[in-house]
Amino acid sequence: MTTNTAPNSPQASPLAPEWLAVPEDLNVLQAPMWAAGVEKNDAGEVTIDGISVSDLKEQFGTPLFVMSESDFRSRARAFKDAFDDAFADICGGVDVYYAGKSFLCTTVAQWVAEEGLRLDTCSGGELAVAARAGIPGANLGLHGNNKSDAEINRALDMKVGRIVVDSLDELERVAKIASSRGEIAKVMLRLTPGVHAHTHEFIATAHEDQKFGLSMAEDSTEEAGLSAAEEAVAAATSYPSVELLGLHCHIGSQIFEADGFALAAEKLLGFQAAMQAKYSVILPELDLGGGYGIAYTPVDTPRPAAEIAQAMAAVVRSKCAELGIEAPRVSIEPGRAIVGSTTFTLYEVGTLKTVRVDVPGTEKGLENVTYPRRYVSVDGGMSDNARPVLYDADYSAVLASRDSDAAPQLSRVVGKHCESGDIVVRDVYLPADVAAGDLLAVPGTGAYCWALSSNYNYLARPGVVAVRDGAARLIVRGETEEDLLNRDMGVANV
């Protein structure tokens, strides 16, 4: 076999994905991946509201989630204002529920309330956070495909504004529990409209073959000719202990195209009109979910909240007019689109190594060509960002502690866990002189990173720092080894 060694030039590496271009300047922070207020100072350090990453590391350590409070509040207000404006003539505005599953703590819950949003929860634990934050029950929703009796009772105790029911079994259980308490449960029905969302299959949630929701397809129940969705409407209206508020759907996450949201809205409004005609039931609310995409890499192109709102309003307006029905009160559930880009994760570089990877040769007589790929290990990994291993999610990264005039080198940022799949950033161009002790910043880590974090290999989960007006404070304390051992009953009394 004849092997040819390619030059060490990092330009346009064949190992890089097609979408990844070599940056013209590695020292530039590329919008819109970063929060407002994140920039580089004269020394080349990444700063947030004027605070340098070296100061953050010295005060709080690494890994560290660094969040802009001002950016979070601005994005929350943008959704509320844009949707209220777009739907003002249709239904008087929109109820915006922040999807707490993306990232939730008591401080963030309070920001949500202060900016005029409501809060969507998915478990008893998230309800507990909401209660501790002082969020009124009327401003809460409870999701989940397998709510326990305890969670349903807790929701009723807190007088939550809506319980989003996911199945016929759950609807019956909610009705029985509410009846036993002599109360009425406010319920929405989560439907699966059969819309294919352009996203990863694990986060597409409106197709038939998955665990969420009530199918709108006919013959999806044992009762011939009825869909599970229609059977649920009939059942809900028959339970004295249930107040059926309306319909809900969520087609997936990290979606950039508008066509899926439009089609889902059309299907649900058509179903609402059919149920109104058949059962004389008025469904006053319609939740169109969330899932709006953000920029994880330079090629991602998220849509502004106002553009999303206007597109969705146009569909609801025209469809209601076509069907001759009064428009329901619309609600949405953005999570990632609010919190995702507010945050970056700060890491310290440890070991580095370069490997040579075979690529099929294109020249006559050459079986392969080898190209370099550098592995840059950091002090976190899949325990603070599971999305790359779960969803093949792409991220970007920058050298955060200094500027560099070194050539760009294709790199793979990896963690310190005992897994070959422990990848933080699969492909990124970083300066060739990145070395141990340097700081890297990975943008877009506000959603589903801390929320999915773990203690794999007994690593302590990082803290979360909120920065505003030049001041940084912990809103979630990082764990210590003592925290990890506190639940170990073998050493609890040592």
Please report the DSSP string for 90-130 in residue order.
HHS-EEEEEETTTS--HHHHHHHHHTT-EEEE-SHHHHHHH
C-beta neighbour count of 477 within 10 angstroms: 12
* CA pair distance 199, 195, nearest whole angstrom: 12
Token code pair at residue 295: 């920029």
CB 190 within 8 A of CB 258: no
Catalytic residue, candidates 91, 249, 418, 449 = 418
* Rg of the chain (C-alpha set): 25
Cα dihedral value 19, 197, 35, 17, nearest 10? -10
Question: Nearest Cα to 376, choosing from 330, 447, 424, 332?
Answer: 424
Determine contact, residues 405/411, Cβ cutoff 8 Å: no
Cα 29 to Cα 18, 36, 342, 400, 403, distances in angstroms: 21, 11, 14, 10, 11
Q: Residue 26 has what DSSP assignment?
A: T
Q: Reduce the DSSP state of residue 259 to 3 states and report it.
A: helix
Q: How far apart are CA 370 and CA 248, in angstroms?
A: 52
Q: Which secondary-structure segment (H or E) carries 54?
A: helix 53-60
Q: Is 277 exposed, middle or buried (0-12, 13-18, 19+ CB in 10 A)?
A: exposed
Task: Identify which of 259, 238, 236 has the alpha carbon closest to the alpha carbon of residue 247.
Answer: 236
- The strand pair at 118-121 and 285-287 is best described as unpaired
94 contacts 320 by C-beta, under 8 angstroms: no
Instruction: Specify whether 418 is catalytic.
Output: yes
Residue 163's DSSP bridge partners are: 142, 187
CA–CA separation, 354 and 368 (whole Å): 18
The SS3 call for residue 446 is coil
Number of helices (H) and strands (E) in the chain: give both, helices first: 12, 22
Residue whose pair of structure tokens reads 């502004």 in the numeric block: 304
Looking at the annotation, which residues are catalytic?
418
